[in-house]
């Protein structure tokens, strides 16, 4: 039974001024949510004090992957680990039977996968509840002026007096569909998860969306209709992990050297995300379509590579078990990015002005793919991957649009989104004039 095992590590930062404005950012232990949440926490910490709270079991992994190494010197960002019992966190394995042969059907999560997701959240809720009921001040700076959390983080332990802003790590279109899906879930296996979402949306004083107004403005009305909460939505995208200063590892160096030898715009970059272990039939169909092309494929398999990937032309075809995505996406040899459509990946692609081919598998990836199509920066896979790849390499219309979108995204990062982030801090600041000259 989980009761007394809460303890906390303070990895970095100790408080600067005693009564600085303080925001608590709570992230659920899913990497694709932790990454933009941490980036949001970092940006907020330029203007106020921030505590980033997430499962302690994921913090080590986060450190190992280099996401927090540059934060050790920050005086305004504390990273706090919650011992929530989420220490066995299996990767999401997708079975062959879950992927339909026509490539376009959304994966229906099976009972085990749904229960697993729900349980992670329930455990997190118990731990948060316990933390807030007991010795909060020994691990988290007080007072807390605002809490920013993902909509399904259980927040029922909270005192009503602390304003809550919900963080939407992808685009509004996906959120709207997610809210609709609650009404169709009849299994009850995600009961708590949906309860948390409903309650949080009801309580929220604001929404913070990791997208751009230019992309999502047209969904605001619909979002308000389906959420029933008219609190302000602030668009602060693109939150992408940025560690320009970090030193280049030899693995990255080798990949860049390899890319340097390839002709401009010749290489297809393939990465289907960190969660799903893809079944062999998917790998085979992609391998077959890539047979006569140059590519770099970030692919982790549970066992040896399938036979379809045995006879590669190593001068032009490279498989890596880890890829420095930003370095690859910014390389001129890369023609386009063949992605699963995770929003973080799509934003990184847009920032680098790259064209996209998207094979969505589950959750908001389908909405994200539609977003890519609407924006004109790429297409979703059809029933014929060979054809798709040919189309991507020959059709110049996407590249032109991708450059325009790149400008929008960079401008948002440097200008509008920065201003929105400062506005969030201003909302709760005790010394309004402190921010006047910024």
Instruction: Find the shortest distance in angstroms from Cβ 438 to ligand NAG.
Output: 15
240 three-class SS = coil
Tokens describing residue 76 = 């305004």
Using CB under 6 A as the binding criterion, the count of chain residues that bind ligand NAG stands at 22
Nearer to ligand NAG, 220 or 410 (CB): 410
Q: How far apart are CA 65 and CA 79, in angstroms?
A: 16
Q: Which of 60, 72, 187, 251 touches ligand NAG (CB under 6 A)?
A: 72
Instruction: Find the shortest distance in angstroms from Cβ 165 to ligand NAG.
Output: 16
Residues 354-413 contacting ligand NAG, CB under 6 A: 379, 384, 386-387, 395, 397, 410-411
In this chain, which stretch among 68-76, 147-155, 268-276, 348-356 interacts with ligand NAG, using CB under 6 A?
A: 68-76
Instruction: Find the shortest distance in angstroms from Cβ 6 to ligand NAG.
Output: 15
Residues 130-149 contacting ligand NAG, CB under 6 A: 132, 136
**Site map (CB under 6 A) of ligand NAG, residues 76-95, x = contact:** --------------------
Q: How many CB atoms lie within 10 A of CB 243?
A: 12
Containing H/E element for 296? strand 294-298
Instruction: Find the shortest distance in angstroms from Cβ 437 to ligand NAG.
Output: 17
Q: What is the layout of strands, in order, in the sheet containing 77-82? A: 77-82, 49-55, 22-26, 146-150, 164-168, 206-209, 233-235
Chain center to CA of 112: 23
Q: How far apart are CA 25 and CA 35, in angstroms?
A: 12
Q: Which of 105, 108, 288, 438 touches ligand NAG (CB under 6 A)?
A: 105
DSSP code at position 22: E
Residue with tokens 């259980």: 154
Q: What b/e sequence results for 378-402 when a residue is b if at least 16 CB atoms lie within 10 Å of its CB, and e otherwise?
A: bbbbeeebeebbeebbeeeebbebb
In this chain, which stretch among 66-74, 79-87, 230-238, 246-254 interacts with ligand NAG, using CB under 6 A?
A: 66-74
Nearer to ligand NAG, 118 or 139 (CB): 139
- List residues near ligand NAG by CB under 6 A: 12, 63, 68-69, 72, 100, 102, 104-105, 132, 136, 159, 379, 384, 386-387, 395, 397, 410-411, 414-415
């Amino acid at each position: 039974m989980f009761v007394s095992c809460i303890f906390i590590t303070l990895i970095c930062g100790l408080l600067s001024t005693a009564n600085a404005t303080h925001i608590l950012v709570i992230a659920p232990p899913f990497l694709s949510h932790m990454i933009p949440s941490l980036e949001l926490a970092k940006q907020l910490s330029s203007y106020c004090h921030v505590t980033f709270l997430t499962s302690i079991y994921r913090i080590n992994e986060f450190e190992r992957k280099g996401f927090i190494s540059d934060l050790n010197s920050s005086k305004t960002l504390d990273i706090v680990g919650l011992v929530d019992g989420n220490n066995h966190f299996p990767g999401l394995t997708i079975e062959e039977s879950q992927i339909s042969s026509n490539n376009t059907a959304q994966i229906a999560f099976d009972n085990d996968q749904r229960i697993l997701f729900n349980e992670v959240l329930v455990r997190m809720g118990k731990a948060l509840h316990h933390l807030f009921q007991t010795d909060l001040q020994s691990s988290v700076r007080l007072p807390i002026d605002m809490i920013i959390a993902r909509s399904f983080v259980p927040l029922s332990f909270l005192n009503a007096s602390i304003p809550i802003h919900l963080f939407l790590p992808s685009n509004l279109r996906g959120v709207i569909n997610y809210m609709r899906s609650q009404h169709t879930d009849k299994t009850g296996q995600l009961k708590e998860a949906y309860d948390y979402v409903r309650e949080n949306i009801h309580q929220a004083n604001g929404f913070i969306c990791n997208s751009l107004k230019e992309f999502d403005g047209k969904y605001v009305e619909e979002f308000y209709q389906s959420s029933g909460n008219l609190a302000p939505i602030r668009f602060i995208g693109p939150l992408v992990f940025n560690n320009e200063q970090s030193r280049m590892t030899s693995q990255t160096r080798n990949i860049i050297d390899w890319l340097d030898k390839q002709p401009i715009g010749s290489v297809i970059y393939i990465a289907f995300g960190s969660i799903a272990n893809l079944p062999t039939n998917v790998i085979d169909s992609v391998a077959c379509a890539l047979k006569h092309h140059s590519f770099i494929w970030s692919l982790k398999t549970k066992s040896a590579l399938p036979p379809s990937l045995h006879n590669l032309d190593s001068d032009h075809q490279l498989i890596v078990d880890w890829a420095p995505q930003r370095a690859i996406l910014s390389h001129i040899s890369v023609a386009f990015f063949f992605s699963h459509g995770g929003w973080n990946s799509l934003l990184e692609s847009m920032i680098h002005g790259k064209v996209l081919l998207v094979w969505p598998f589950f959750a908001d990836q389908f909405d994200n793919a539609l977003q890519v199509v609407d924006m004109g920066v790429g297409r979703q896979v059809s029933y014929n991957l060979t054809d798709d790849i040919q189309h991507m390499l020959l059709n110049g219309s996407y590249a032109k649009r991708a450059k325009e979108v790149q400008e929008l995204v960079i401008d948002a990062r440097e200008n509008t989104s920065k201003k929105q982030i400062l506005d969030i801090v201003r909302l709760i600041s005790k010394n309004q004039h402190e921010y006047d000259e910024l």
